[in-house]
Amino acid sequence: MNDTQIPDLETTDVVKNFGATVAVDQVNFEVKKGAFFSILGPSGCGKTTLMRMIAGFEGPSSGDILIRGSSVIDVPPNRRPVNMVFQHLALFPMMNVAKNIGYGLRRRGISGKEIDRAVDAVLERVGLPGMGPRKIDQLSGGQKQRIAIARCLILEPTLLLLDEPLGALDLKLREQMKIELKQLQAEIGTTFLYITHDQSEALVMSDQVAVMNHGRFEQVATPQELYYRPNTSFVAGFVGDANRWSGKVETVSGDELRLHGQGGVAIVATAVGGISVGMDVEIFVRPESVFISRAEAEIAEFDNKIEGAVDSLLFDGGRSSALISVAGDDRDISVALPQTGQFSNLQAGEKVYLGWQADQTRCFAANNVGS
Amino acid sequence: MTEIGSSDLGATPAKLPTSVRRQPGVARLWFYLLLLPPVLWLGLLIILPHIQLFILSLKEKVAPRVYTYGLDNYIGFFNEPLYWMTLLRTATISILATALTLVIAFPVAYYIAKMLRGRTKNLIFVLALLPFWVSELVRTLGWIMLLRETGIISNTLLSLGLIPERVELLGNDAAIITGLVYTSMLFMVVPLINSLDSLDDSLIEAAYDLGGKGVAILREIIIPHAMPGIVAGSIVVFMLTLGNIVTPAFLGGKNSIWFTDQIYQKFIVRFNWEQGSAFGFLLLITSSLVVWLGLKLTRQSLAKTIT
Ligand SMILES: Nc1ncnc2c1ncn2[C@@H]1O[C@H](COP(=O)(O)OP(=O)(O)OP(=O)(O)O)[C@@H](O)[C@H]1O
Ligand SMILES: [Mg+2]
């Protein structure tokens, strides 16, 4: 019973220094059993380093890593109940598919017949039955992907680590594998720790996402929370698209702030973290939070109101948007176009009215700006 | 006459085709010109002498300046135990020396290719090559300095009181093997480093991650990947060792004659070019046979080694 209470993975104050560079800085988090946990961050933020410490290829400079409640700092990688899908898959080209998948079981000294049966079963599970005799270079990118995962799953690890496993695939296949991976994880119930720099991958697949920057975790939350309630300006800027202004706070009442953005746009916003009058801040508004209308009356109820002219239309099917130029701001405001049809005949140069609420306008102190 | 007339009338259309037609001709000429050096090299330095040698090896002297053709030179080889025993010994020791070179060179190559990075890697690599800037003769003489009775090793052991009197370390098979391994190192290390360099570190890590241990990973991942380098290095070292003449002559003694020395004796001392040629051919056949057998046993092919 108590088993479910112990997290599959827990790190406490993990730090990794490479000489003067701090690759991972005071990272604390836990991953619950059966969860799909993603670490999202820009290139070079320390994701791989963190994962390599969990797999055992790198020792932390300080801090502790616990798997199922016991420290694994002194356990070598070949005896950790963790398996890793490498960034470039690392399938063994000198072996065929069946030999690749059976590798781990062979190392455990399991009999040949049993291995064959297990290999067939796991091939079935990843949707590639009968592929055993194939050579690695006879597989497509997506098939290699699945073989690399099968090679780990056959060992029934407590925790499966995946380091940007979709990075090498083309866009179409990536979209498809995203869904397949999520379904596979839900089916088998293995805990996944997934690394990516692609926010869409993290948002679509995960139960929990940690956003990492410069070796630190900025925020650990569900995808919805990250998207709608980012805690730092880095998260707000990195996850999803956003219109961004900087400015100086003029008045504060409770959580509500008033200020003029650079260029002179008047903004009513919600403060995140302690913010006082006179502070330099950054303001973020999602394109889909901005209401667009041709009639001024329709935006009357919004906290923020502005009028502008269509500068250009960016058609992208269901995700089409418009760039609106407003008086007094040299940068255009990006607005998601509703797909109900009334804007299908929108023309460049047309006059429009924009409105958005203060609680969807998040404001952060400017000193913790990310990259 | 008609041609001149027509080209006079419509100068450009008549001339254009000829100049276009000439282009492939020029290209072909260049192709043959470029082909000439390798063909000459192969033909004049390798194929021609071998044909000459082969014909020579079939000649038998019946009386002064009177020759017939036959297999007597080859039969003579098999009838005289000294000859075929020498060849057998030479081949065996060469195989042994090749294996030993591989065993010593592999960790060195692995260390340079996989453990070192950047400038240290280049530096150590150059240091490993440094002894080979000196000629083989000088290097072999160096070993004589070390191994002879009044040499450094013997003297050191004596002054340390480890041996009662000086020992002669030259003139035996061990001395030959030592010299051969040393001489061959470079030709093994370079192809090994080449093939190990291309081994992705993440393959080794993946093998560890999946529960592999040192020896199993070496056997299942590293060696199969390095196989082309191992085969290439071994073939080169074996050929060089089998055909070596300086090292065995300097470091070996009367009891450890190398087959090349027998060929030398036939040609230069006995002036028996016919039998010398036959011996030369037998050496060529032996080395080809051993290489072929080695490839078969390790299930490798020359084509795989080259690509
Ligand atoms: N072995 C090492 N020695 C020195 N510095 C290293 C080493 N490995 C990583 N680093 C540094 O640590 C930082 C984090 O690297 P890491 O590979 O973890 O990034 P990442 O988030 O995985 O990036 P990417 O998305 O590009 O894979 C980088 O600045 C990198 O240069
Ligand atoms: Mg990485």
Residue-by-residue DSSP string for B138-201: HHHHHHHHHHSTTSHHHHHHHHTTSSSS-----SSHHHHHHHHHHHHHHHHHHHHHHHHHTS-H
Same domain, A229 and A252: no
Question: What pLDDT is recorded for position A367?
Answer: 64
Same domain, A114 and A21: yes
CA angle A34, A35, A41 (to 5 degrees): 150
Ligand nearest to the CA of A86: 2
Q: Which residues line ligand 1 (CB under 6 A)?
A: A 18, 21, 23, 41, 43-49, 197
Same domain, A178 and A288: no
Mean pLDDT, residues B143-161 taken together:
88
Same domain, A332 and A193: no
Question: What pLDDT is recorded for position A310?
Answer: 92
Structure tokens at B127: 């240091």
Counting from 1 in the atom list of ligand 1, the atom nearest the Cα of A19 is: 4
- Per-residue pLDDT band at B134 (split at 50, 70, 90): confident
| Domain containing residue A315 | 241-368
Highest CATH level, class, for B80-306:
mainly alpha
Q: Which residues of A touch B212 (CB under 8 A)?
A: 78, 103, 107
The whole-angstrom distance between B107's CA and the closest CA on chain A is 21
Q: What is the distance in angstroms between the CA of the first residue and the CA of the last residue of chain B? A: 58
Q: What residue type is assigned to position A218 of the chain?
A: E
Final residue belonging to a domain, choices A189, A204, A234: A234
Question: What pLDDT is recorded for position B22?
Answer: 56
Same domain, A90 and A217: yes
pLDDT, tens digit, 9 for 90 and up, residues B156-213: 988 988 888 888 888 888 999 999 999 899 899 999 999 999 999 999 999 999 988 8
Q: Strand order of the sheet with strand A351-356?
A: A291-293, A351-356, A304-314, A321-326, A333-336
Question: What pLDDT is recorded for position B7?
Answer: 41
B129 three-class SS: helix
Closest C-alpha to ligand 1, atom 26: A43
Question: What pLDDT is recorded for position A220?
Answer: 94
Distances (CA, A) of A288 to A63, A326, A335, B89: 41, 17, 6, 85
Does residue B139 have a pLDDT over 80?
yes
Same domain, A248 and A356: yes
pTM of the model: 0.78
Say if B299 is an interface residue toward chain A (CB within 8 Å): no
Mean pLDDT, residues B31-38 taken together:
86
Same domain, A194 and A248: no
The domain spanning residue A358 has which CATH number?
A: 2.40.50.140
Which of A18, A82, A84, A85 best probes binding to B when mutated, by most B CB atoms within 10 angstroms? A84
Final residue belonging to a domain, choices A234, A258, A291: A234
Per-residue 3-state assignment (H helix, E strand, C coil) for A270-307: EECCCCCCCCEEEEEECHHHCEEECCHHHHCCCCEEEE
Mean pLDDT, residues B76-80 taken together:
89
Question: What pLDDT is recorded for position B23?
Answer: 67
Q: Is-contact A337 A322, C-beta < 8 A?
A: yes
Residue with tokens 């102190």: A365
CA dist A61 and A14 (Å) reads 8
Same domain, A196 and A91: yes
Question: What pLDDT is recorded for position B306?
Answer: 61
Contacts of A124-130 spanning 24+ positions with Cβ under 8 A: A125/A150, A125/A153, A125/A184, A125/A187, A125/A188, A126/A150, A126/A153, A126/A184, A127/A180, A128/A97
CA dist B281 and A13 (Å) reads 73
- Per-residue pLDDT band at B2 (split at 50, 70, 90): very low
CA dist A80 and A152 (Å) reads 13
8 Å CB contact of A107 and B212 = yes
Does residue B239 have a pLDDT over 90?
yes
Same domain, A211 and A252: no
Question: What pLDDT is recorded for position A3?
Answer: 53
A352 three-class SS: strand
Number of domains into which chain A is organized: 2
Question: What pLDDT is recorded for position B305?
Answer: 66
CA dist B283 and B290 (Å) reads 11
Q: What residue type is assigned to position A81 of the chain?
A: P
ipTM above 0.90, yes or no: no
Give the list of residues 6+ apart from residue A6 with CB closer than 8 angstroms, or none: A33, A68, A69
Closest C-alpha to ligand 1, atom 29: A44
Question: What pLDDT is recorded for position B136?
Answer: 85
Q: Which residues of A touch B205 (CB under 8 A)?
A: 57, 77, 84, 86, 90
Same domain, A122 and A35: yes
Does residue B299 have a pLDDT over 50?
yes
Q: Where are the alpha helices (DSSP H) in A127-170?
A: 141-153
**Mean pLDDT score of chain B, rounded to an integer?**
85
Of A83, A92, A107, the CB nearest to B203: A92
Poorest-pLDDT segment among A9-18, B112-121, B254-263: B254-263
Does residue B261 have a pLDDT over 80?
yes
Final residue belonging to a domain, choices A210, A234, A258: A234
Same domain, A209 and A281: no
A11 three-class SS: strand
Of A76, A94, A103, the CB nearest to B224: A94
Mean pLDDT, residues B26-40 taken together:
86
A206 versus B257: the higher-pLDDT residue is: A206
Low-confidence ranges of chain A (pLDDT < 50): 1, 368-371
Residue with tokens 């040192």: B214
Q: Which residues of A71-110 are buried (b: 16+ CB within 10 A; e: fewer)?
A: ebeeeebbebebbbbbbbbbbbebbbbbbbbbbbbbbeee
Q: For chain A, what is the radius of gyration of the CA atoms? A: 25
CA dist A303 and A306 (Å) reads 10
Same domain, A289 and A245: yes
> Any idea where the domains of chain B sit in the sequence?
6-57, 80-306
Mean pLDDT, residues B263-278 taken together:
88
The domain spanning residue A139 has which CATH number?
A: 3.40.50.300
